[in-house]
Structure 1
Amino acid sequence: MTLSRIIHSAGLLALALPSLALAQDAGVEAAVAATPDPYFYVFNTVLFLLGGVLVMWMAAGFTMLEAGLVRSKNVSMQCLKNISLYSLGVLVYWLVGYNLMYTGVDGGWFGQFAPMVFPAPSADTGDYSLATDFFYQSMFCATAASIVSGTVAERVRLWPFLLFVLILCGIIYPITGSWAWGGGWLSQVGFSDFAGSTLVHSVGGWAALTGALIIGARKGRFTADGRSVVMPGSSIPLATLGAFILWFGWFGFNGASQLALGTIEDAASVGRVVVNTNTAAAAGVIVSMIVMQVVYKKVDVTMALNGALGGLVAITAEPLTPTFLSAAIIGGIGAALVVVAVPLLDKLKIDDVVGAIPVHLVAGIWGTLAVPFTNPEASVSAQLTGIVAVGAFTAIASAIVWLAIKAVFGLRPSEEEEALGLDRSEVGVEAYPEFSAARL
């Protein structure tokens, strides 16, 4: 090669190097832009993971609350129902529920009927781990089913109940959830429900109410002339433990519903949500105690427990925007409504063993309506639309499922089995065998 050609080639290379460098820099910038911020990804994923663990712990809370509020001859049955409904709910939510709720809704009525497929870790490049999002969302699904369990306790057979749970967790809950959280039609009209006063708690409440009406009351719960007969639970300490566990788990239920922890603002929001959640529950306890003292001259401990839960349900629709005082007012009103609703159900001869309908349905409706008072982006008309639509669909769908199961399989045990207790007739393992032996 001649000297002139070498000089010419070197000149061309010198001219090309800046362009190559710019192209390489552009390629690196594009790659960086396509990769999520690792800190954002990690903190969001940790939020979902810890939130899901806390909500999973609520399953223990429901179990203890129900075990304490049912009679001793039905405690094992409630324990079995709760661990089985949790397990079944998680599996069916993976099989069909998650994609039905979140995939391809696009402003419509539901998503895709397909199992959840998790990407490989190297391909999971969103703002959070998809697996932990599924884990967190599946806990909410199981919570809706737990609400039903307490209401229809002591007079429903195990397998028919689990068949209802299968439909609730696989079809009913995901469809209503898709309308708002999945980007469906309710989200388009401006309906707002931060963590599920309507989408979780009222759904469970409506399903519980239709079940209570179709299954009927426990034998002896109401006299022929309409009087209510009190059937005390087996263990107030156990019920109190359950309420405290639910209160504790609610910090994950509401706190992680911020759905992000990767910025200072998100972290501050999670903190505010947790404080407001705690405030509403505390106010719920005190208000329920005051109302009971004024009206009945005695403070029923079970009403105080449900007052805490009523406050928690009420604040769940919007725990971020209220002030400390507003959160206390919202929770306190929720608890007061629970105290009013419990005797109202008795007058209507609706047997709700643990008070789940007043707590989750009544307080859930109130909490959803209260959102516009602290969140200016929400409107009363949009909130009413969501309440009515979710309530109508859930009640009608649940009634169809309950009636179909009743017609095909039956729902109730025989009168003899119910009198004996479902621990003996359905489970075969008594929770308190020494007590049973002493009675004999």
Structure 2
Amino acid sequence: MIGRTQMSKTLARGALCAVVAGIGLTGAAHAEVSEETAFVFNTLLFLIGGFLVMLMAAGFAMLEAGFVRTKHTAAICLKNIALYSIAGIMFYLVGYQVMYGGQTPYFGIPELWVPSELAADESIDIGTGYAAASDWFFQMVFVATAASIVSGTIAERVKLGPFFIFVIVLTAVIYPIQGSWEWGGGWLDADFGFSDFAGSTLVHSTGGWAALAGAILLGARSGRFGPDSKPMMPGSLPLATLGTFILWFGWFGFNGASQLALGSAGDAVAISQIFANTNMAAAGGVVTAYLLSMLLGGGKANLAYCLNGALAGLVAITAEPLTPTILQAIAIGAVGAVIATFGAKLLEMVRIDDVVGAIPVHLFAGIWGTMAVPLTNSDATFFGQAVGVGAIGAFVFVTSFVVWMILKVSVGIRLSPDAENVGGDLSELGHDAGSIFASDVGKDSAPAQ
């Protein structure tokens, strides 16, 4: 069972591309590949796309480590490797069947996922079109992205334990339920024709809504706003830049492999177009953010704006990276960068502290990208897109808010003032990011909790 109901839609697009390519290049139809060859190439696409998306976990870790102050660097690295691991385990135990079980229009019934074939089998059913484990792996790596978005927003003041508990709920329940409404063939797909090719809303805005709920309940970092506010400089913008490039690279797997098939020339053409559009949307975001930061900064550019401009462009094109022309992709990415830049200003005005700017990038630009789908894809409607954005936003924000609130009143979610002042590295890990032997460093430095 393939997860995303987009499969039939993208295969139809791929067939159309094949016809066009065949007429334009050779004047004849492309020869069909064998069923086994298609099985191998489809499986390979899932696996390559999966490990590229997995690499994005490293991109998020480096981006966040670069944006936080140095006294929180080791803690943010631990958060990222742990959340990726937790997400995988919970998606295996619960989330995959909730998202793709297909028992109801709203969510599936959890059961332990077992691959439908093994390498030792004498006869592998190639009629499925792909290896079951490759599909599961590709779907699994997406869920950690949503959790990574939350991590960056609430950095420097959230406790590790409660954050990990929230990740368990997000990846096992919240993300899979809303994802089932579209990619699992649920009501948004069936009744409203909602379209989100690779997850501008289902992944990125979902992470943004969960992050917003957490940021509101946590409050801002000490000294971030108010008359006694002080600059909170990023620890390493070169590290954040490296993280951005890693994310940009991984996004080719995120969007490209969401074509879900590589068994025909049409699929190859489609994936090539997706790669080109993904790349150029990010480029449009960078250039636009650079010019806008020059305008807002009195002729001085802002690197952080440019990094988030790239990511906003990538998020915006993710909802529909196939149907736009390259010029349209550049425009979609450019608008995403404008939204992310002014979105960051808006959060500052209302005193919501987002350490890495994840809410403007993933939530705001994600909404824009999703609503822009009908501009280039005639199969989608603005009404259907608005229903999807609204329903998913309401569900994720409310459920996340409730979970964060329960954690806040039960175990507490915020570091103590002393722990926040000394930094998450020493207060929660007992060592800083430069330590080699954690057990020998910082034992006497960490404040009492």
* Shared fold, TM over 0.5: yes
Other-structure match for 1:58: 56
* % identity of equivalent residues: 55
* More helix, by proportion: 1
Task: State how far apart, in whole Å, the 2-side matches of 1:119 and 1:255 are.
Answer: 25
Structure 1 unaligned residues grouped into runs of 5+? 1-35
The answer to whether the Cα contact below 8 Å between 1:110 and 1:184 also exists between their aligned partners in 2 is yes
Residue 264 in 1 paired to residue 268 in 2? Answer: no
Q: TM-score, normalised by structure 2?
A: 0.87
Residue 219 in 1 paired to residue 222 in 2? Answer: yes
The answer to whether the Cα contact below 8 Å between 1:286 and 1:304 also exists between their aligned partners in 2 is yes
> What per-residue deviation string (whole Å, max 9, x for no partner) do you get for residues 186-230 of structure 1?
001100000000000000000000000001110000114xx8643
Say which of 86, 101, 104 aligns to 1:103: 101
Task: State how far apart, in whole Å, the 1-side matches of 2:340 and 2:329 are.
Answer: 17
Deviation at 1:408, TM superposition (A): 1.2
Residue 132 in 1 paired to residue 134 in 2? Answer: yes
Residue 74 in 1 paired to residue 77 in 2? Answer: no
Other-structure match for 2:18: none
The count of residues paired between Structure 1 and Structure 2 equals: 399
Structure 2 unaligned residues grouped into runs of 5+? 1-33
Q: 1:303 to 1:228 in 2, by over 3 A?
A: farther
Secondary structure in 2 matching 1:180: coil
Task: State how far apart, in whole Å, the 2-side matches of 1:203 and 1:412 are.
Answer: 22
Paired AA for residue 416 in structure 2: S
Task: State how far apart, in whole Å, the 1-side matches of 2:203 and 2:107 are.
Answer: 16
The answer to whether the Cα contact below 8 Å between 2:102 and 2:186 also exists between their aligned partners in 1 is no
Paired AA for residue 95 in structure 2: G
Secondary structure in 2 matching 1:381: helix
Other-structure match for 2:420: 418
Say which of 110, 113, 133 aligns to 2:110: 113
Task: State how far apart, in whole Å, the 1-side matches of 2:435 and 2:41 are.
Answer: 48
Say which of 305, 324, 332 aligns to 2:307: 305
Task: State how far apart, in whole Å, the 2-side matches of 1:293 and 1:413 are.
Answer: 37
Deviation at 1:295, TM superposition (A): 2.1
Paired AA for residue 273 in structure 1: I
Other-structure match for 1:191: 194
Other-structure match for 1:329: 331
Other-structure match for 2:239: 238
Other-structure match for 1:30: none
Residue 200 in 1 paired to residue 203 in 2? Answer: yes
Task: State how far apart, in whole Å, the 2-side matches of 1:104 and 1:191 are.
Answer: 17
Other-structure match for 1:255: 256
Q: How well do the aligned residues superpose, as a CA RMSD in angstroms?
A: 1.5
> What per-residue deviation string (whole Å, max 9, x for no partner) do you get for residues 330-356 of structure 1?
000000111111111001000000000
Question: Larger Rg: 1 or 2?
Answer: 1
Other-structure match for 1:164: 166
The answer to whether the Cα contact below 8 Å between 2:65 and 2:240 also exists between their aligned partners in 1 is yes
Task: State how far apart, in whole Å, the 2-side matches of 1:93 and 1:231 are.
Answer: 36
Paired AA for residue 234 in structure 1: G
Paired AA for residue 161 in structure 1: F
Other-structure match for 1:6: none
The answer to whether the Cα contact below 8 Å between 1:72 and 1:432 also exists between their aligned partners in 2 is no
The answer to whether the Cα contact below 8 Å between 1:283 and 1:332 also exists between their aligned partners in 2 is yes
Counterparts in 2 of 1:18-29, with a 5 A limit?
Answer: none
The answer to whether the Cα contact below 8 Å between 2:117 and 2:132 also exists between their aligned partners in 1 is no
Other-structure match for 2:283: 282
